Structure 1
């Protein structure tokens, strides 16, 4: 995605997260940025209300071992590990006290993924393995899959579905495109209709349940700008005005 020159880029913001925002429970100053069908759940600037999301699903643009000609840097801008860790205050504010985090990691960022879960307020409990139909790169083992870490928050937080295997064989699509089936796995495990949040999304969730999306390459439905993470969609305030019926009614 080409970032408009007039919009701040989310990956190179020098201002520390939280310096322009407020603490949990405060209401930021109103701005003329209607967020359409999400208005009942969002604050005036498009940031979600505290404790809103039952689950967060993230596929960060990791930097480690991704800067070579064959790495992810040739496909999209990367984010430093520190910037990903520093999203913690935002994630902790907008997710529920009892909630889940599903985090994709690369071979080089498994250990870092555990640190990100902790920074975002979650404790690691398990993983899901995406088995791929071909062998790819690797300095030791040749990679033939990816790991999705599962973190939980809150005492007594349990899954709603207890028969989900921790691996699946799914086809490859374009670079970094994760299996659509994972959204349905998340919905089964978490239970209910949401709301759920996908971070670093590229497209709308393949679901008729209540998913919000945020990322540099999608038409985001929320804003994290008050925590120091602006994206191009923050600068198109009328982008959702034509979206009807309401997502609260289970429609896209």
Structure 2
């Protein structure tokens, strides 16, 4: 093996995890440019593009064509004179095979070793490890790789060649055909469907910067809920139950040795969420559960069964997530991968919550500026129902100059079943292209789909839609991080789930200006400006906006 092939081999072993986590998936040209950058840092001689491809071909031949899995399957046999015209990908690198080759290279460069006086064992631990079936699980593969790396090299080329034959990954299927003129369309379709490296990196960055909350499973044992009724008290303001530990401890003390009912209950209470039936004087358990549950407006007189949540008593899960949330501010300062960020988070800290109590139809939007990265609006559409707030007709809503608020960015519009097509038309008239929509599937406090009959003329409406409009061609938007389906419970009338803010903030990145129209006080949050006629006064932090707003208010007065 020549020196250049050896350098390529060393790079693939040491650095391929920095390209994309295994299985590696990146264009051969991208891997080549990373290799050249590594050579420049180390002060080593450059390797041309054609030499690099030949080195990959040689490594693959040594491994009996098991070192690389490519797309298309014959990617390494194709000739590309220019790396910028190469669209082939390496979708899998078998590190086990490459490490064994590297050990043989190191062995061949060392002087021969005298045979030991004592006879060697029949098979070295390295051969025993390599002859095992290649694991399917990534963690098991990594453990086997580390075992191979830590062991001394094989001292026989013949033994090494025996090892290469069994290193074919069993979980990779060759589903790609060879490149030919008749298969170009199929190959292009496969290339377009492959996830972009920028999307994968954006997801990894979002994991570091997104606050997390403890997740608990729900108890599925109906006996526990009945046992907890006399041991808990219900708080109507929060819909949560509080456990009386003294009563539970009394039950545990009185429990006989043969019975472990309350012991099992105490263990379950610490780990899972329980839904406790709220039995009131007027409750008739034969009627079953209330369809509205936590959104029932007549709970004090409702005869159906309602529930309160009892959260787990053990806070170990909360402690685990607390450390991650502490490191978020530190992760915000990392700006080595800035694609998908309108600005660097380190240069523009997040502003406190701001809001303006006003009539949106009469507010001069030029006061707010036109550099919002994200706008979300929840209009009070006319839906022919008795509501506790005033609604706008379609023509009134269309007259609002939403087109003045953005040069480029995203506009998200909540729509009802009747107004889906109307919302699409409005976005187009405001200068946006409808590129997607988010669907909120509504659940009640028992995590069941809502079917109350409160909305919908023909079918029960158990979901709402959020149209996603795009203006301009913003390169800084993060794509393909979150799915378009959001499952969350309902709360007050017209209140939307808080999870939507995390979804849209990950799309535009931190530190950007964000606006919510027709918001209420519970919608206010750091980094957002909220406007609407149900807010508590006006609170502005940005000096320029405050000066323009109060100056315009004084002129009107």
* TM-score normalized by the length of structure 1: 0.63
Tell me the equivalent position of 2:431.
121
SS in 2 for 1:111: helix
What is the Cα deviation at residue 205 of structure 1?
Answer: 3.8
Partner Cα distance (1:114, 1:221) in 2: 32
What is the Cα deviation at residue 183 of structure 1?
Answer: 1.1
What is the Cα deviation at residue 155 of structure 1?
Answer: 2.5
Tell me the equivalent position of 1:240.
none
Of the three residues 209, 216, 229, the one matched with 2:533 is 216
Tell me the equivalent position of 1:53.
372
Structure 2, unaligned stretches of length 5 or more? 1-357, 444-449, 541-551
What is the Cα deviation at residue 118 of structure 1?
Answer: 1.6
Answer yes or no: is the 8 Å Cα contact 2:478–2:509 preserved in 1.
yes
Distance 1:172-1:198 versus aligned 2 partners, 3 A rule: same
Is 1:135 the counterpart of 2:451? The answer is yes
What is the Cα deviation at residue 56 of structure 1?
Answer: 0.7
What is the Cα deviation at residue 94 of structure 1?
Answer: 2.5
Answer yes or no: is the 8 Å Cα contact 2:524–2:530 preserved in 1.
no
What is the Cα deviation at residue 80 of structure 1?
Answer: 1.3
What is the Cα deviation at residue 10 of structure 1?
Answer: 3.6
More strand by share: 1
Tell me the equivalent position of 1:81.
394
Tell me the equivalent position of 1:44.
none
What is the Cα deviation at residue 163 of structure 1?
Answer: 2.1
Tell me the equivalent position of 1:92.
403
What is the Cα deviation at residue 206 of structure 1?
Answer: 5.6
Structure-to-structure mapping, 1:143-222, within 5 angstroms: 143-157=461-475, 159-203=477-521, 205=523, 207-208=525-526, 210-219=527-536, 220=538
Structure-to-structure mapping, 1:95-114, within 5 angstroms: 95=406, 97-114=407-424
Answer yes or no: is the 8 Å Cα contact 1:161–1:191 preserved in 2.
no
Answer yes or no: is the 8 Å Cα contact 1:124–1:149 preserved in 2.
yes
Distance 1:156-1:53 versus aligned 2 partners, 3 A rule: closer
Aligned length: 178
| 4+ residue runs over 4 A deviation | none
| RMSD of aligned residue pairs (Cα, Å) | 2.9
Answer yes or no: is the 8 Å Cα contact 2:481–2:507 preserved in 1.
no
Answer yes or no: is the 8 Å Cα contact 2:481–2:506 preserved in 1.
no
Cα offsets for 1:30-85 (capped at 9, x unmatched): xxxxxxxxxxxxxxxxx212x2211110000001xx23xxx2x4210011111211
SS in 2 for 1:107: coil
Partner Cα distance (1:141, 1:189) in 2: 33
Distance 1:235-1:155 versus aligned 2 partners, 3 A rule: closer
Partner Cα distance (2:479, 2:390) in 1: 36
Distance 1:211-1:156 versus aligned 2 partners, 3 A rule: closer
Answer yes or no: is the 8 Å Cα contact 2:375–2:517 preserved in 1.
yes
Partner Cα distance (1:120, 1:196) in 2: 18
What is the Cα deviation at residue 190 of structure 1?
Answer: 1.5
Structure having the higher Rg: 2
More helix by share: 2
Partner Cα distance (1:213, 1:112) in 2: 24
Which fold has the larger relative contact order, with Cα–Cα distance below 8 Å and residues 6 or more apart in sequence? Answer: 1
Cα offsets for 1:198-222 (capped at 9, x unmatched): 00001254643x2001101014557
Partner Cα distance (1:203, 1:144) in 2: 25
